[in-house]
Each structure stands twice: as structure tokens, then as C-alpha cells.
Amino acid sequence: KQRLIRGFKDWQIETYQTIDSTNRRAKEFAEQNPGQSAIIIADEQTAGRGRLGRKFYSPNKTGLYISICLSPKDLSYESISLITAQTAVSTSRAIETISNESVKIKWVNDLYMRDKKVCGILSEAITDIESNQVQALIIGIGINLSVPDEGFPEELTEIATTVFAPNEMNHCTRNDLAVAVLNQWLLAFNELPDTGFIQEYRKRSNILNKPVRVIQGKEAFNAFAYDIDNRGRLLVKASTGRLHHLSYGEVSIRQL
């Protein structure tokens, strides 16, 4: 079957030394340029965000912050729900081309090395309230490259890690990683909505076949994570015996 090869032709690429949030700028770009695609890259975010209003610590020069802004013409309906998982897989591949250590995925949007978080992915859609149609999809990728000069803030020292060891990062290795992230992302994106990559997602998962705690808003329950389906949903069996299909959204998973 012939595939349409989509490249970054006609995409706008913006780079910033410092910005409040690359996802925020990508959203603004989408609103100002309907139908256009863009890549926003920054050295530092002063108001980097995670899911549910959480902060993503994004200090100057020791991280890589990229947001990809897609217009509906780039996307099929099936692709939209797969894009976070696709980005997790492609970014893991990219990091592994640069570092010799393996990258695991904590469903659904975090990448881990040495059992600590090295990268967070934040997908956000702009939807038209009346038609409920997606007008733009923003995928933010934040990667810790090396330990900040002042060290990680106390609350992150136990949970965060970096791609590079001290003194291993320079302009070249940083640029190599940025290029690898975008290349691997594009290659994987061009395969969508094929779900072949989900097999790799399962293999990379660090919660599959393990007991987990599922947190949904104010509710939480213990369960066993037994599969990830071809739509990227996490299938868990609660201790009550009930099966749940969890989608990216308001769900958080903790390892038990």
C-alpha cells in the first residue's frame, strides 16, 4: 500500500531562548494561523506545564522543550487518540539513539530512564465548542537533558533524571537530540493510524502486568494493569474484579 509521505514542508519553525510555555505559544500560533502546522523549540520555559495544571520544571539550557502544532489536515480521526502514545514511542526511540540506556514509558505520557522521569509529554486539543471539531492538536515534549546548575528542586530530586551524565551535554549533543526527536516523531507520525507501534509501547511500559493505583479526580482504587489496547487505552482489573478501560485524560497511575 502506498503511503502519503508527509514531511515538515511548509511548517513554521520557531526557536526561543526563553518562553513562558511552548504549548501556550503553539496554541496561539494555531489561533493566528488556522490550518498551518508549526514546531516551537525553546531552551527554557518560565511557566512549563504538565497535565491538570501541574508544573513542568523547565530550567534554562539543561532541558529541551518542543511543541508540535498540527492542523486538522494533518490528522485523521483515529490518529488523534493515538498521538500521545505515538509520541511516547518515537521520543523513546530518539533518546535511545543518543544515549545507551533504555527508555520506558509510564502510561500514558511520561518517559522514564533508570526508574526516574526523564521526559513529559502533554497533548492538548483546541476544539470548536459548537461543532466539537478539533481545530488544532498540540503535542508538547519536555526532556531533561542534564542536571540544572542549581540542581533539581527538592521535590524532583527523587523522581527526575536526565538523558546526559554531567559534562556529556554540549551544543552538538543537544542539537542531535532535537533532530532525533523530530525525525523519529515524523517517521512514526507517517505510520498513523496504523497501530503497529502499540506492540513496542507495551514492551516499553513500566506498569504493564503490575499492580497499580488508579487515580481519577477524587477517586482512587487499586488494580492490576493487564494490557494496553490498540487505541492506547490502559486495561486494568480492579481489586473488585471489575475491568476498566482507561483513556488519556483525567487519569493518573501510580506504581504500587
**Phi, psi dihedral angles at 79 (to 5 degrees):** -65, -35
User: Contacting ligand ATP (CB under 6 A), which of 13, 46, 47, 54?
Assistant: 54
Site string for ligand ATP, 151-180 (x = CB under 6 A): -----x--xx--------------------
| Whole-Å CA distances, 100 to 47, 103, 114, 222 | 31, 10, 12, 34
Q: How far apart are CA 250 and CA 147, in angstroms?
A: 30
Among 9-17, 51-59, 125-133, 239-247, the segment contacting ligand ATP (CB under 6 A): 51-59
Nearer to ligand ATP, 102 or 133 (CB): 102
In this structure, how many other beta carbons lie within 10 angstroms of the beta carbon of residue 30? Answer: 21
The answer to whether 104 contacts ligand ATP (rule: CB under 6 A) is no
User: Cell digits for 253?
Assistant: 497511575
User: Contacting ligand ATP (CB under 6 A), which of 109, 123, 146, 205?
Assistant: 109
User: Contacting ligand ATP (CB under 6 A), which of 29, 42, 56, 139?
Assistant: 56
The least distance separating ligand ATP from the CB of residue 50, rounded to whole angstroms, comes to: 2
The answer to whether 252 contacts ligand ATP (rule: CB under 6 A) is yes
The least distance separating ligand ATP from the CB of residue 109, rounded to whole angstroms, comes to: 5
- Restricting to residues 65-94, name those near ligand ATP by CB under 6 A: none
The answer to whether 60 contacts ligand ATP (rule: CB under 6 A) is no
The answer to whether 248 contacts ligand ATP (rule: CB under 6 A) is no
Among 6-14, 53-61, 198-206, 219-227, the segment contacting ligand ATP (CB under 6 A): 53-61
| Whole-Å CA distances, 49 to 117, 180, 230, 256 | 15, 23, 28, 26
Among 31-39, 82-90, 109-117, 184-192, the segment contacting ligand ATP (CB under 6 A): 109-117
Chain centroid offset of residue 161 CA? 16
The answer to whether 114 contacts ligand ATP (rule: CB under 6 A) is no
Q: Which residue is closest to ligand ATP by CB?
A: 50
Contact 212, 253 (CB under 8 A): yes
For residue 134, the surrounding DSSP H or E stretch is strand 134-144
The side-by-side arrangement of strands in the sheet containing 116-127 is 12-16, 38-42, 63-70, 134-144, 116-127, 110-113, 104-106
Contact 99, 113 (CB under 8 A): yes
Nearer to ligand ATP, 50 or 193 (CB): 50
User: Cell digits for 14?
Assistant: 520557531
Which of the 8 DSSP states describes residue 165? P
Contacts with ligand ATP, residue ranges (CB under 6 A): 50-51, 54-57, 109-110, 117, 120, 144, 156, 159-160, 252-253
